[in-house]
């Protein structure tokens, strides 16, 4: 069965834009998945305590035959291969963060995986690139991405130049 998954990408260490470019190449090589499109890259201020470098964020749309948990496993493998170190702390600098934001219109709530991503609705650095890809997208709870983006605004977010040009 073909599924559509929106994947959030983020990095703020070791050349973040290049980390995202590499992640996109690796995502495109996941068996039974096809990378359809990626949003522009955006810069954003880091969330959380302490001083951190700015983030680079984007959202990619995949078509895949994998169940959500297998896709999560593949994305976490890519994170580890690109130097991601997992620890108990949230909001720490990282080479790569890959989150399944949406998986079809499914709602999944397990210890390892929550879809839609639990903080998607409050994060303009997720909503803006998601809007770029799918301006008419409605979440499983009936909320439209365009309306959520109006609520969060785009303050502290800036589009980066396209690296491929």
**Residues with catalytic function:** 84, 94, 97, 99
Number of alpha carbons in the 13 Å side-chain half-sphere of residue 115:
21
Taking each helix axis as running N to C, give the angle between helix 68-81 and helix 16-27, from 0 to 180 degrees, rounded to the nearest 10.
140
**Cα→Cα distances 125→2, 73, 107, 156, Å:** 27, 24, 22, 9
- At CA 107, angle to CA 38 and CA 81, rounded to 5? 45
């Amino acid at each position: 069965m073909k599924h559509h998954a929106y994947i959030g990408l983020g990095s703020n260490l070791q050349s973040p834009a290049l980390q995202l470019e590499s992640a996109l190449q690796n995502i495109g090589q996941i068996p039974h998945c096809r990378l359809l499109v990626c949003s522009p890259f955006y810069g954003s201020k880091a969330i959380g305590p302490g001083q951190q470098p700015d983030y680079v964020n984007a959202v990619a749309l995949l078509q895949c035959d994998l169940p959500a948990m297998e896709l999560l496993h593949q994305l976490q493998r890519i994170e580890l291969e690109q130097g991601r170190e997992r620890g108990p702390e949230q909001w720490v600098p990282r080479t790569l963060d890959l989150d399944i934001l949406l998986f079809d219109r499914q709602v999944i709530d397990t210890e390892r995986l929550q879809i839609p991503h639990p903080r998607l609705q409050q994060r303009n650095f997720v909503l803006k690139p998601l809007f770029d890809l799918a301006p008419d997208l409605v979440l499983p709870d009936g909320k439209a991405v365009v309306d959520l983006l109006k609520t969060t605004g785009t303050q502290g977010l800036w589009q980066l130049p396209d690296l491929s040009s």
